[in-house]
Amino acid sequence: KAGVTQTPRYLIKTRGQQVTLSCSPISGHRSVSWYQQTPGQGLQFLFEYFSETQRNKGNFPGRFSGRQFSNSRSEMNVSTLELGDSALYLCASSLVVHSSSPLHFGNGTRLTVT
């Protein structure tokens, strides 16, 4: 069974630009979550989607947005990039949204903002 696929693996952008990251979940998984990982802040929750609906959102500015499509694939968009947005962005999928359902992560997209 294929794992979670994130594209691209690496991105270099300039301040002020926008970026879109893509995530394909494990087949059959209907929940997708996004996390930002930085050395200083660790892993921070961005959002979670289930069946195309955003279920939960972390404490990030409105420049960070996401969506989920009918095939469960998800995209995350960051507009007006800032230097502080440089991070590893991890996508994860799970069968259901439940406290017992583990998240399965992709390899991440490493975003560098210059």
Partner 1 sequence: AQKITQTQPGMFVQEKEAVTLDCTYDTSDPSYGLFWYKQPSSGEMIFLIYQGSYDQQNATEGRYSLNFQKARKSANLVISASQLGDSAMYFCAMRVPGANSKLTFGKGITLSVRP
Give the binding site for partner 1 (CB under 8 A).
33, 35, 42-43, 45, 48, 55-56, 58, 88, 90, 92, 97-108, 110
Cβ proximity to partner 1: between 36 and 72 the closer is 36
Least distance (Å) between residue 62 CB and partner 1: 18
d(CA 23, CA 17): 20
Cβ proximity to partner 1: between 17 and 41 the closer is 41
Least distance (Å) between residue 80 CB and partner 1: 25
Q: Is 41 helix (H, G, I), strand (E, B) or coil?
A: coil
The token duo for 79 is 């507009």
d(CA 93, CA 101): 10
Of the candidates 37, 60, 38, which has an alpha carbon nearest to the alpha carbon of residue 47?
Answer: 60
Least distance (Å) between residue 33 CB and partner 1: 7
